[in-house]
């Protein structure tokens, strides 16, 4: 027998979709509320159809003379009344004040109360209403917490105990006539269909959750990458490159390998910004970073130290090798056709190279490279100096 229970599937799917959308985008709160209202409208529409189908099945029992025609009519009106009440709460955005904006526990409670009421009013076909309780809890449990499920289960028990233990109501399933047998068959057909839907919905949920977990992992990985990258150049940002420096110093001390670093500065970069504009300056920085990435080793680490100053970490590079690498990079940068950005433009770099000593900490290591960079600038720029 179809009831409002089947409507609980759609809200859950909508909620999962909404949660994923909220984590993946910065949608305004008004848009989130609007989506929730639409989803609740869909849920209420499904509930109304469910009660209509249920009332239609009861009409068959009424036609067979088993129950009064009043039962299916009042059943449908009670369902519409409950739906209307929650619709008003939805349309006035009262529902959005609650963490569970679908008010699942209250809806489950309302629909369970309707089934118990009609179990008392028409005990001859009580099996139909009892079967519906299983469906209501089956769907509702997909949204409820364990505490909420326990609460609603307890309330249902309180309603069922008097019916079965403190009364002699003839709760039954009449199949005495062919029409009654047809009505009973229709009840079971609808219930079995809803059970099948629960199974399909559960499978869909698992797939949806799996896809969502994959998407969230990829998004989290991307966020981590973005958090460690300089937005303009794509190089590691200062926090990331300093962490890499600490790691490389630790590795060099453990293995006894050489480790060199180079502080690199774009010569007269302020003049580039002043003469050609900051957009051109940004393009120069991006081109410089791309060129560096294309010409360093896979094991090297490159990051923006600040402004137009960059840090290059060179693992397993003794002093002479590090200086040779930097001289090659200096020549590559100087030979680029910078006039493509602006006629007559020329960009060069200066660098200070330092090799790790036994007593160096990161600050001392960087200070020696910075001192060498200062020397390169003092000697006329466009050159490499070693600490």
Q: Could you read off the pLDDT of 168-194 as tens digits, one per residue?
A: 888 999 998 999 999 999 989 988 887
Q: Is residue 13 part of a domain?
A: yes
Residues 200 and 252 in one domain: no
C-alpha–C-alpha distance, residues 340 and 356, integer Å: 39
Residues 362 and 328 in one domain: yes
Q: Is residue 363 part of a domain?
A: yes
**Position 7 confidence tier, pLDDT thresholds 50, 70, 90:** very low
**Position 29 confidence tier, pLDDT thresholds 50, 70, 90:** low
Residues 52 and 162 in one domain: yes
Q: Is residue 231 part of a domain?
A: no
C-alpha–C-alpha distance, residues 376 and 379, integer Å: 5
Q: Is residue 314 part of a domain?
A: yes
Residues 59 and 190 in one domain: yes
Cα separation values, 352 from 87, 127, 182, 319, 349, Å:
71, 87, 92, 11, 10
Query: b/e map of 225-260 (b: 16 or more CB within 10 Å)?
Result: eeebbbeebebbbeebbbebbeebbeebeeeeebbb
Average pLDDT over residues 293-320: 95
3-state secondary structure of 56: helix
| pLDDT at residue 117, rounded to an integer | 94
Q: Which two tokens stand for residue 121?
A: 């009013």
Q: Is residue 187 part of a domain?
A: yes
Least confident range of 7-16, 34-43, 124-133, 345-354: 7-16
Residue corresponding to tokens 């159809």: 49
DSSP 349: E
Residue 310 has pLDDT above 90, yes or no: yes
Residues 209 and 244 in one domain: no
Least confident range of 28-32, 167-171, 366-370: 28-32
- Distance from the first to the final alpha carbon of the chain: 85
pLDDT for 237-292, tens place per residue? Answer: 999 999 999 999 999 999 999 999 999 999 999 999 998 899 999 999 999 999 99
Q: Which two tokens stand for residue 209?
A: 């959750």
Average pLDDT over residues 227-244: 91
Of 181, 204, 226, the one marking the end of a domain is 226
Question: Percent of the chain, pLDDT > 90?
Answer: 59
Closest of 116, 131, 133 to residue 169, by C-alpha:
116
Q: Is residue 150 part of a domain?
A: yes
Domain that holds residue 376: 238-386
Residues 55 and 159 in one domain: yes
Residues 273 and 194 in one domain: no
Residues 129 and 268 in one domain: no
| pLDDT at residue 28, rounded to an integer | 59
Catalytic residues: 308
**Position 19 confidence tier, pLDDT thresholds 50, 70, 90:** very low
- CA torsion 188-192-193-197 (nearest 10°) is 150
3-state secondary structure of 270: helix
Residue 23 has pLDDT above 50, yes or no: no
- 298 class by beta-carbon count within 10 Å (0-12 exposed, 13-18 middle, 19+ buried): exposed
Q: Among 167-171, 320-324, 358-362, name the most confident range.
A: 320-324
Question: Percent of the chain, pLDDT > 70?
Answer: 92
Higher pLDDT, 67 or 200: 67
Average pLDDT over residues 304-330: 95
pTM: 0.54
Give the number of other CB atoms < 10 A from CB of residue 113: 15
Of 226, 258, 284, the one marking the end of a domain is 226
The most distant pair of C-alpha atoms in the chain lies apart, rounded to whole Å, by 109
Closest of 324, 317, 286, 318 to residue 304, by C-alpha:
286
Per-position DSSP letters for 357-385, written without gaps between them: -TT--HHHHHHHHHHHHHHHHHTTSSSEE
Residues 194 and 284 in one domain: no
C-alpha–C-alpha distance, residues 70 and 81, integer Å: 16
Residue 32 has pLDDT above 90, yes or no: no
3-state secondary structure of 337: coil
Residues 262 and 304 in one domain: yes
pLDDT for 116-162, tens place per residue? Answer: 999 999 999 999 999 888 888 887 877 788 888 888 889 899 999 99
Report the chain's mean pLDDT, rounded to a whole number: 87
Q: Is residue 233 part of a domain?
A: no
Task: HSE, CB side, 13 Å, CA atoms: give it for residue 54.
Answer: 33
Q: What is the domain count for the chain?
A: 2
| pLDDT at residue 9, rounded to an integer | 40
Of 226, 249, 271, the one marking the end of a domain is 226
Residues 379 and 280 in one domain: yes
C-alpha–C-alpha distance, residues 315 and 31, integer Å: 51
Q: Are 342 and 274 in contact (CB under 8 A)?
A: no
Residue 25 has pLDDT above 80, yes or no: no
Domain containing residue 368: CATH number: 3.30.70.270
Residues 184 and 318 in one domain: no
According to DSSP H, which parts of the chain are helical? 9-24, 29-63, 70-91, 104-121, 126-140, 146-165, 178-227, 238-255, 269-276, 278-295, 319-335, 362-378
Residue 15 has pLDDT above 80, yes or no: no
Residue 14 has pLDDT above 50, yes or no: no
**Position 5 confidence tier, pLDDT thresholds 50, 70, 90:** very low
């Amino acid at each position: 027998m179809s009831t409002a229970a089947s409507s609980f599937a759609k809200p859950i799917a909508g909620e999962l979709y909404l949660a994923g959308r909220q984590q993946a985008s910065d949608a305004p709160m008004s848009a989130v509320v609007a989506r929730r209202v639409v989803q609740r409208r869909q849920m209420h529409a499904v509930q109304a159809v469910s009660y209509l189908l249920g009332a239609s099945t009861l009409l068959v029992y009424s036609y067979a003379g088993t129950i009064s025609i009043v039962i299916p009519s009042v059943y449908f009106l009670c369902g519409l009344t409950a739906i209307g009440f929650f619709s008003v709460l939805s349309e006035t955005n009262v529902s959005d004040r609650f963490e569970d904006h679908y008010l699942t526990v209250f809806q489950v409670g309302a629909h369970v109360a309707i089934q118990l009421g009609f179990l008392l009013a028409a005990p001859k076909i009580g099996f139909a209403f009892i079967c519906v309780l299983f469906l209501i809890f089956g769907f509702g449990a997909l949204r409820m917490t364990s505490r909420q499920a326990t609460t609603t289960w307890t309330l249902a028990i309180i309603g069922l105990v008097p019916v079965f233990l403190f009364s002699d109501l003839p709760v039954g399933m009449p199949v005495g006539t062919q029409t009654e047998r047809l009505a009973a068959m229709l009840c079971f057909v609808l219930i079995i269909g809803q059970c099948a839907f629960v199974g399909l919905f559960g499978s869909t949920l698992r797939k949806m959750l799996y896809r969502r977990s994959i998407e969230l992992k990829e998004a989290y990985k991307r966020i981590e990458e973005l958090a460690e990258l300089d937005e303009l150049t794509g190089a590691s940002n200062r926090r990331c490159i300093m962490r890499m420096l600490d790691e490389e110093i630790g590795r060099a001390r453990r293995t006894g390998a050489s480790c060199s670093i180079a502080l690199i500065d774009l010569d007269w970069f302020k003049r580039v910004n002043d003469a050609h504009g900051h957009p051109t300056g940004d393009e120069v920085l991006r081109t410089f970073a791309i060129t560096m990435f294309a010409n360093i080793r896979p094991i090297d680490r490159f990051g923006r130290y600040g402004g137009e100053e960059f840090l290059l970490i060179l693992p397993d590079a003794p002093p002479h090798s590090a200086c040779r690498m930097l001289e090659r990079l200096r020549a590559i940068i100087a030979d680029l056709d910078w006039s493509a950005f602006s006629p007559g433009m020329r960009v060069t770099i200066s660098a200070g190279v330092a090799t790790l000593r036994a007593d160096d900490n990161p600050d001392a290591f960087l200070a020696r490279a910075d001192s060498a960079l200062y020397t390169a600038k003092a000697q006329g720029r466009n050159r490499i100096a070693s600490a």
